[in-house]
Structure 1
Amino acid sequence: MPGTNRQLDGALAALLARRESHGKLRRLTKPLAHCVDFSSNGYLSLSTNLEIQEQLLARLQARVAAGAADIDRAAGSRASILGSGGSRLLDGNSSFAEEIEARIAAFHRSETALLFTSAYDANTGLLGSVPQPGDVIVYDELIHASVHDGMRMSRAGRKIPFAHNSVSGSRPGAGAEAGDGRLGRQSENKNLEHVLGQLSGREGSEDVRSGKANVFVCVEGLYSMDGDVVHLQKVVDAVDRCLPSGNGYIIVDEAHSVGVFGDDGRGLVCKSGLEDRIWARVLGFGKAIGCSGGVVLCSSTVRSYLINYARSLIYTTSMPFTSLASIEVVYDYLVSGRSKPLREHLEELIHYTHCQLRAICARQRPGQLMIRVQEAPAVSPIIPVLTPYPRALAEHCQRSGFMVRPIVAPTVPAGSERIRVCVHSGNTIEQVDGLCKAIEAWVRQNHGAVERDERRDKSKGLGEVTKTHNVLSQDRPRL
């Protein structure tokens, strides 16, 4: 056995070495205490909100006090604030959990809600159990990994991608709606309407045309890497046009859009007034909401079905009181309207940050594209800064006191590497100015080295992979 273990470890080490040689090796890192946060997904800065923290501590202390009183009356009956005791189908359910679900459903204008331990589990549970043999799943090519894992578990007969955020138009496969000013990614996939038209056309499936087979269309409200927002009304219209039998069902992952968009942070679906047109929504509490966990917003029938068939719910220990209480406290804050000033400040920072980054792009030397930022105004807190040297730029920013992370393939398609600037309501104009000064300083310091390196690569006939391991590689962070 020891020899066998060494043999397997050797094979795994070889795979890791190959990934490292391509500059794609992932490592766990710790947030740097001295750095200003421009990386995390806590867009409203609620997890560090003192008012919310104080309210949560008060709830926990009240729970402990109530448990101490109960123990005097009945041995072993003390309420726990730690573990939940099991899955929700065994000992992990509670009136408290069901009350929170009802409150979440009402806030987001949904019939019902079902809590999961994460939005990842919610997606895998939903996609892994609902689609039946013969059904089809159509999904945005940049959809989250959890949807892909749910599709792998699914019994759906076909899974078909469509070009990112491309719903209709004369340029299928362009990866963006015409005129939206996005970063110009080209895609071999067709747009959504083209895919749905093929499915329901004469050359497609009779089961789809007749409505016997269901078509599930999966999109995200806000895409976490590009920071763009789905054209949700266009998606609804395309499904209605192409699937007149009423067998098209739209699933929106709102993990990144909840808290940011809509009245009091209700999300993009509510902002668009499409609550009755979206079959299911998956919300994540680990981003703008500042907690942990996830929820599926759906009909009471779908909720009952998930309780019976979603493996990520049935076989997972349910959330403890601490997690439930944190969700309750944050929703108290949202319902009260107190988050409105945070979103207003966030919108101002988003506009200001994008303008400053675009100004840096305009000041670059002609033909020297060290960084690139979309021309169209930013519509979300996520602003990608494309660069061939994301690791070097990220490390420079961190040394300057600003936490940003490099995003490289395979997390994003090769050729679209970037740093991901995430703006938060807790940030200030001065902090944004500091980050932008650090980015521009890096551009000025390194443009000469890049020119020399590109001339060297060209003379040797080296390709893009080698270019990412040029003289700047000595500055790459070990992330």
Structure 2
Amino acid sequence: MKSLPQSLVDKLAERSRNNSLRVLGCEHTMADFCSNDYLGFSASRLIFDGAHKYLLQNNIVHNGATGSRLISGNHGLYTITERYLAAFHNIDSALVFNSGYDANVGFFSCVPQKGDVVLYDEYIHASIRDGIRLSNASAYKFAHNNIEVLTEALKRHRERSLEAEVFIVTESVFSMDGDSPNLPALVLLCAEYNCRLVVDEAHALGVFGNKGEGMVQQLGLQDKVFARIVTFGKGLGCHGAAVLGSAGLKRYLTNYARSFIYTTGLPPHSLATILTAYNYLEQCVEERNKLKHIISFFKSEIERLELKSFIDSSSAIHCMVISGNENVKIISSVLQEKGFGVKAILSPTVPQGQERLRFCLHSFNTQEQITQMLELLSSSLPSS
């Protein structure tokens, strides 16, 4: 077997020198402050047994989809699941993809056309960036959550063309900051400049809304948004994703989204789990309230301990900026040694100088854990 090309060896060596080399970790038994399992659904016995029961009751005995959805893999559970999702999210149609990455790459690579313009928040997820790169549209980033900068960009593009389709792309909860944009202001801006708003709701599903529907529905903006992307590997604790939009958008993606067309579909068990998790989400008021209380308590402890450099957030994600890969890794190691599963987010995942500790909060975290962890954090920080 041939060795790795030297150019690739050199790139790995550079990562090592910068303290940014990624390695696969092991399953840990620490208090969970790093996973996206906000409501604890991934380990729910009720959801696990419920999905199995659903398959047995409907005499579904298949381990795989057998092919792409356009050939042999579009089993009946897809229709049931997509209709349920559309009703739950108060939208015309839903199209299930194998993952959030597939949904974003599929959507953004084929919907914006040559001559169109995509204006995207500088902190959008890598999967959205990858999809935009594969499209033929012109794309420009704007300063994070900055309505004024975006407005100026829109004015410039509308001066050049009143007919071009313009897509504004953001997330309702940003994965590496935990903060949110001013969605009502973005909706008004899209109406004024005749743009289409696309919102990734990956980290809002299960956390925001009367039934965990996400932030767009919590604000009553679902009729003002061109497309939403919801993913099931976070608050829902399972796997897969869906693009929510009009029936016409669903038809278009079915015909042109390559990450949908050229892949084997999800197995029936995955869809049964999605359905069961959504049904449980509607009923689990107690778990969602627990998460809200934990988020509120976490923020109050930050204030009590006078911990600085936290990014303001009302979501389940809270980040403390600690500049430098080496510095943030040292602090995360201290927390992990004491049993707190907090991960350091390094550059180049975030911009250099914006390295951070990322705290993901869950309904199953306790106030005692949070107090102990943040007091340890406070005592471990270098004195200013």
TM norm. shorter chain > 0.5: yes
1:61 Cα deviation from its structure 2 partner: 4.2
Q: Is the 8 A contact 2:52 2:269 kept in 1?
A: no
Whether 2:5 is the aligned partner of 1:25: answer no
Match of 1:238 in 2: 189
Distance 1:53 1:315 in 2: 29
Residue 300 of structure 2: which of 349, 355, 375 is its match? 355
CA RMSD of aligned residues (A): 1.6
Aligned length: 381
Q: Is the 8 A contact 1:192 1:238 kept in 2?
A: no
Distance 2:262 2:115 in 1: 27
Match of 1:106 in 2: 87
- Structure 1 runs of 4+ aligned residues shifted over 3 Å read 60-63
Match of 1:367 in 2: none
Distance 1:224 1:442 in 2: 25
1:390 Cα deviation from its structure 2 partner: 1.1
- TM-score by length of structure 2 reads 0.95
Amino acid at match of 2:340: F
Distance 1:32 1:331 in 2: 27
Distance 1:137 1:344 in 2: 37
* Partner SS state of residue 265, structure 1: coil
Distance 2:269 2:368 in 1: 35
Match of 1:174 in 2: none
Q: Once structures 1 and 2 are overlaid, which stretch shifts more, 90-99 or 353-362? A: 353-362
Amino acid at match of 1:30: C
Distance 1:87 1:264 in 2: 32
Distance 1:217 1:84 in 2: 35
Report 1 or 2 for greater relative contact order, CA contacts < 8 Å, sequence distance ≥ 6.
Answer: 2
Residue 193 of structure 1: which of 148, 151, 160 is its match? 151
- Counterpart mapping for 1:240-389 below 5 A: 240-241=191-192, 243=193, 246=194, 248-335=195-282, 338-361=283-306, 372-374=309-311, 376=312, 378-388=313-323, 389=327
1:92 Cα deviation from its structure 2 partner: 0.4
1:60 Cα deviation from its structure 2 partner: 4.1
Residue 379 of structure 2: which of 441, 444, 469 is its match? 441
Q: Is the 8 A contact 1:43 1:425 kept in 2?
A: yes
- TM-score by length of structure 1 reads 0.77
Residue 351 of structure 2: which of 413, 424, 429 is its match? 413
Match of 1:182 in 2: none
Distance 1:60 1:105 in 2: 22
- Counterpart mapping for 1:28-177 below 5 A: 28-33=24-29, 35-62=30-57, 66=59, 79-80=61-62, 82-156=63-137, 158-168=138-148
Q: Is the 8 A contact 2:322 2:356 kept in 1?
A: yes
Distance 1:339 1:217 in 2: 33
* Partner SS state of residue 11, structure 2: helix
1:10 Cα deviation from its structure 2 partner: 2.6
Match of 1:225 in 2: 176
- Can you list the C-alpha shifts for 1:393-439, whole angstroms capped at 9, x where unaligned? 11111110010100111111111111101110111111112211321
- Can you list the C-alpha shifts for 1:194-249, whole angstroms capped at 9, x where unaligned? 11111112xxx23xx1x2x10011100100111101210111111222x1xx3x11
Q: Is the 8 A contact 2:39 2:364 kept in 1?
A: yes
Amino acid at match of 1:372: S
1:442 Cα deviation from its structure 2 partner: 1.7
Bigger radius of gyration:
1
* Partner SS state of residue 223, structure 2: coil
Structure 2, unpaired ranges of 5+: none
Q: Is the 8 A contact 1:361 1:372 kept in 2?
A: no
